[in-house]
Amino acid sequence: MVIRQGVHDARLTLARQPLTCQLVMDAPGDLDLVNAPAVAGAYDELRDRAQVRPQWQTLNDYLRRLGARGMGLRYEQARRLIRENGVTYNVYGDAHGLDRPWQLDPLPLMLSAAEWDGLARGIAQRARLVETVIADAYGTQRLLKEGGLDPALLFAHPAFLRACHGIQPPGGRWLHFYAADLVRGTDGAWRVLADRTQAPAGAGYALENRIVLSRALSDGYRQCGVQRLAGFFIAMRRTLSVLASRLKTRQDNPRIVLLTPGPYNETYFEHAYLARYLGYTLVEGGDLTVRDDQVFLKTLGGLHRVDVILRRLDDDFCDPLELRNDSTLGVAGLAAAARAGNVVIANALGSGIGENAALMPSLPRLCRLLFNEDLTLPAVETLWGGDAAGRLRERFDDLVIRPAFGSVRAPARRGGELDGEERERMLMRLNTLPHTLVGQVAQAPSITPVWSEGTFATRSLVLRVFAVASDDGGYCVMPGGLARIANENQPWAVSFQRGGGSKDTWVLADGPVAPVTLLRPSGAPVEFKRGGSDLPSRVADNLYWLGRYGARAEDAARVLRAALTRLAGDQEVGTDQGLQTALRVLKHQGVLSKPASDSATLEAQLLDLLFSEAISFSLRSVVGRLHYAAFSSRDRLSYDTWRIINHLDQDLSPDVKPERAIDALPLLDRLVLDLAAFAGMTTENTTRGPGWRFLDLGRRLERATFTAELVRGALVPRVDETALDAVLEIADSAITYRARYLLSLQVPPVVDLLLCDSTNPRSMAFQFERIADHVAALPRAPQALPTPAERLALGAYTWVRLVDPQELSREDETGERSHLAHVLDHLSSDLTLLSDTVTTQYLSHATTTRQPSVGPE
């Protein structure tokens, strides 16, 4: 796996400001969907016997007016929105080590209201049926015992979690979220390729697609009259709140969290995005704990009870005590809390058994048996080895052979396409373990136009649709969905992991479209809130390090800039006191222990300190850690903050590494500006809650530490004016100094400015004042005495305010300022202690481990 970065999400504000750059031009007439290439042997979404279908006509009229150039501009705009919003999809094992930007085709898939109504009813019915089968498996198992279902369909399914049998989920709901992948056959009928019941992904991407496209094609979107997606998310919120209100441990404001496996997960972007959109706290397993069979969120202010867990973590990973005991992502005791009825888990633990290709052939019969209805949305023709091994063998070469249970990621290939050895293995398996295989008819998907290199092309398509449990016991279907298109080279394999793209799906409305949005709930009185609540300790930890790395990167950039500027000058390395000062600071920091004496080697050393990923304290490495800390708290950072962080990463990308010091200088200037922008953004645009306090605390601690190192490294030996000049430049205090003292450069006033003067925002006194303010405001048990962190911060602050800079700067008999060195060493160790104290008190987490176990002998 690769660490991904990506960006965040407050695109919602954008959706409210539709783009106003109307194209004022005559219809260029160079674009018409009817000219999109046709493909024989597949259902054409766009055309019926060479005529554009009615649901595409308004869009086509719009495109004809827009013309190829206009469309190209709109496409670029959509791509820019996605890039800047940082919409990403993590591809496992991607060699680039970068997020894959989300691929969105600017042409939506068009569906008529009438067709959609039938399809939506089918989706809801299928979700209801699958939920009934799941409930039976974890309850009475009547279907198995009375012959409704072959027992192997359940017992052989690895996702059947025995520990969850007998749990009665609140409201009797097992399947809160259901998704299905659909293909349309040549006969025009949609059929199900796969049911998704574990923790279906994609609804957030569908929403993001809609927000981007409705902005990029805003006029076309309005003209078409498209059904809104927000109703689906409103239903989702309502269902979860209603279920929370039925808990016996209910509280007035139910706390709902979105449980993510973490930033390494392929759809982490979506988790952060949905959490923000729905207003839920994004948590990882380590943020939750179970006490008294109830679930709690660990926050800075203590434990807060959790009522609902919207989970994006697979159920078997959810509880290392009763489910997979090797899981490090779950919450020990969660199954017991669910069993006690104290928490709503959506989807319920165990819902993964609904992802069962082997069940597909039985669903039409079960639908009649259970509901006395015909199944209106069947699957593609599927043969299960458990009851049709003979027919499966006969048609082996023509069918797509898949594992019956589990891995939906397994490549879908027809028996005839398997190579000799693989084919033998599958045939052997069909003989010995027939119930583990299914064969599905390889259905040619329908085709649809896409925008490619300035014109229309045609691709195959799979549509993922979504349903959410409604509070009347049924399902509410999202009017639209996530259409996925095949990669050009792999028409059969429609998969994001293999590099396909996506489309928005526009379901036309029958009448006028009512504006529905989650952003402006009308009517209901709103409870006012101030300040931040629910800050998980893990997030505070990330913000603290984000602050530290931000300041560390800026300080490192300033030292390196000071060194490289002087190296690029015409003085000898050994005689330039400014350069030697910067090198002494680097040496004192332990960053560059042996600076070379010849300029060519030194230049290479300094450039390595900028760019080398192999050096853990290089600027590139620090920015990498900054990026990761930001990525892990992305749901807490504004959209603009993210743009700056993305810039930082681009500033130091290996592609731009210069050969010479002089070429690195513009880059360092840009970096210093970007880091200043990052600092400004976090100062100006972050709510003054506990999250901001940790961010700023990290920043101040880092800056104080650096300033101590700077003065200690630079000013302890006897120095000349050039050296003082370098110190003031690195500490960005030259202007203040000159304004006060004009040209007379002396050590005591420099020491005063950098250590004692609390009006200088770069001074240690300034940092300590802020640190003291922050630690006093952190949550703590009520008590009269100051905490150890407060004592340290106040002590250091008072000391730097009261010390006499003249006295501090006095040289001893050897010409060194040993008193200054001693004092700075003392302050540095106080800072380390302060950081440890805060970390232990608020941020450290005892790790969860398995109790050792004794086996039978």
Within residues 807-846, the interface with other proteins by CB under 8 A covers 846
* Alpha-carbon separation of residue 275 from 214, 675, 787 (angstroms): 22, 28, 35
Selected from 13, 432, 522, 575, the binder of other proteins by CB under 8 A is 432
User: What is the DSSP code (8-state) at residue 356?
Assistant: B
Q: How far is Cα 370 from Cα 129, in angstroms, rounded to an integer?
A: 8
- Is 390 one of the binding residues for other proteins (CB under 8 A)? no
- Is 422 one of the binding residues for other proteins (CB under 8 A)? no
Which 3 state secondary structure label does DSSP give 845?
A: coil
The phi, psi pair for 441, rounded to 5°, reads: -60, 130
Closest contact distance (angstroms) between CB of 313 and other proteins is 16
Selected from 189, 410, 433, 777, the binder of other proteins by CB under 8 A is 433
Q: How far is Cα 584 from Cα 604, in angstroms, rounded to an integer?
A: 17
CB-based contact 466:80 (threshold 8 Å): no
Which 3 state secondary structure label does DSSP give 454?
A: coil
- What's the burial of 292, exposed, middle or buried (CB within 10 Å: 0-12/13-18/19+)? exposed
Closest contact distance (angstroms) between CB of 154 and other proteins is 8
Binding mask 105-144 for other proteins (x = CB under 8 A): ------------------------------------x--x
Closest contact distance (angstroms) between CB of 3 and other proteins is 27
Using the minimum distance from each CB to other proteins, give the nearer residue, 138 or 628. Answer: 138
Using the minimum distance from each CB to other proteins, give the nearer residue, 162 or 810. Answer: 162
Residues 6 or more apart whose Cβ sits within 8 Å of residue 663: none
- Is 163 one of the binding residues for other proteins (CB under 8 A)? yes
Selected from 155, 371, 488, 833, the binder of other proteins by CB under 8 A is 155
237, 277, 302: which is closest to 534 by C-alpha? 302
Q: How far is Cα 598 from Cα 573, in angstroms, rounded to an integer?
A: 7
Only one of the segments 45-53, 161-169, 532-540, 832-840 lies at the binding site for other proteins (rule: CB under 8 A); that segment is: 161-169
Closest contact distance (angstroms) between CB of 433 and other proteins is 7
Using the minimum distance from each CB to other proteins, give the nearer residue, 270 or 316. Answer: 316
Alpha helix (H) residue ranges in 191-229: 203-216, 218-224
Dihedral through CA 622, CA 624, CA 626, CA 629, nearest 10?
A: -130
Selected from 10, 336, 442, 673, the binder of other proteins by CB under 8 A is 336
Selected from 6, 106, 122, 333, the binder of other proteins by CB under 8 A is 333
Closest contact distance (angstroms) between CB of 319 and other proteins is 9
Closest contact distance (angstroms) between CB of 327 and other proteins is 10
Closest contact distance (angstroms) between CB of 731 and other proteins is 42
Strands 177-184 and 190-196: antiparallel
Closest contact distance (angstroms) between CB of 144 and other proteins is 6
Selected from 16, 80, 145, 660, the binder of other proteins by CB under 8 A is 145
Which 3 state secondary structure label does DSSP give 25?
A: coil
Binding-site size, other proteins (CB under 8 A): 40
Q: How far is Cα 819 from Cα 810, in angstroms, rounded to an integer?
A: 8
Within residues 686-715, the interface with other proteins by CB under 8 A covers none
Using the minimum distance from each CB to other proteins, give the nearer residue, 149 or 644. Answer: 149
The phi-psi region of residue 288 (left if phi > 0; otherwise alpha if psi is between -120 and 50; otherwise beta) is beta
Only one of the segments 507-515, 530-538, 720-728, 848-856 lies at the binding site for other proteins (rule: CB under 8 A); that segment is: 848-856
- Is 424 one of the binding residues for other proteins (CB under 8 A)? no
Which 3 state secondary structure label does DSSP give 551?
A: helix
CB-based contact 10:639 (threshold 8 Å): yes
- Is 856 one of the binding residues for other proteins (CB under 8 A)? yes
Q: CB neighbours (10 Å) of residue 581?
A: 29
The phi, psi pair for 767, rounded to 5°, reads: -60, -45
Selected from 37, 48, 54, 165, the binder of other proteins by CB under 8 A is 165
Q: How far is Cα 777 from Cα 30, in angstroms, rounded to an integer?
A: 64
Q: What's the chain's length in residues?
A: 857
Closest contact distance (angstroms) between CB of 204 and other proteins is 31
Closest contact distance (angstroms) between CB of 440 and other proteins is 22
- Is 848 one of the binding residues for other proteins (CB under 8 A)? yes
Selected from 156, 388, 442, 665, the binder of other proteins by CB under 8 A is 156
- Is 781 one of the binding residues for other proteins (CB under 8 A)? no
Q: How far is Cα 180 from Cα 92, in angstroms, rounded to an integer?
A: 23
The phi, psi pair for 55, rounded to 5°, reads: -70, -10
Closest contact distance (angstroms) between CB of 384 and other proteins is 14
Selected from 16, 80, 162, 810, the binder of other proteins by CB under 8 A is 162
Stated as kind and residue range, the H or E segment containing 736 is helix 734-741
Residues 6 or more apart whose Cβ sits within 8 Å of residue 607: 657, 658, 661, 664
- Is 409 one of the binding residues for other proteins (CB under 8 A)? no
- Is 152 one of the binding residues for other proteins (CB under 8 A)? yes
Closest contact distance (angstroms) between CB of 395 and other proteins is 22
Using the minimum distance from each CB to other proteins, give the nearer residue, 432 or 522. Answer: 432
Using the minimum distance from each CB to other proteins, give the nearer residue, 654 or 855. Answer: 855
Within residues 242-301, the interface with other proteins by CB under 8 A covers 289-293
The secondary structure of 244-267 as a DSSP string is HHTSTT--SS--EEEE---TTSTT
Cα–Cα–Cα angle for 4, 103, 6, rounded to 5 degrees: 25
Selected from 129, 321, 681, 751, the binder of other proteins by CB under 8 A is 321
Q: Which residues pair with 504 in a beta bridge?
A: 482
209, 202, 182: which is closest to 446 by C-alpha? 182
Selected from 186, 325, 806, 832, the binder of other proteins by CB under 8 A is 325
Selected from 25, 27, 428, 777, the binder of other proteins by CB under 8 A is 428
Using the minimum distance from each CB to other proteins, give the nearer residue, 141 or 571. Answer: 141
Residues 6 or more apart whose Cβ sits within 8 Å of residue 773: none
- Return the amino acid letter for 784: A
Which chain residues interact with other proteins by CB under 8 A? 141, 144-145, 151-152, 155-156, 158, 162-163, 165-166, 289-293, 320-322, 325, 332-333, 336, 339, 428, 432-433, 846-857
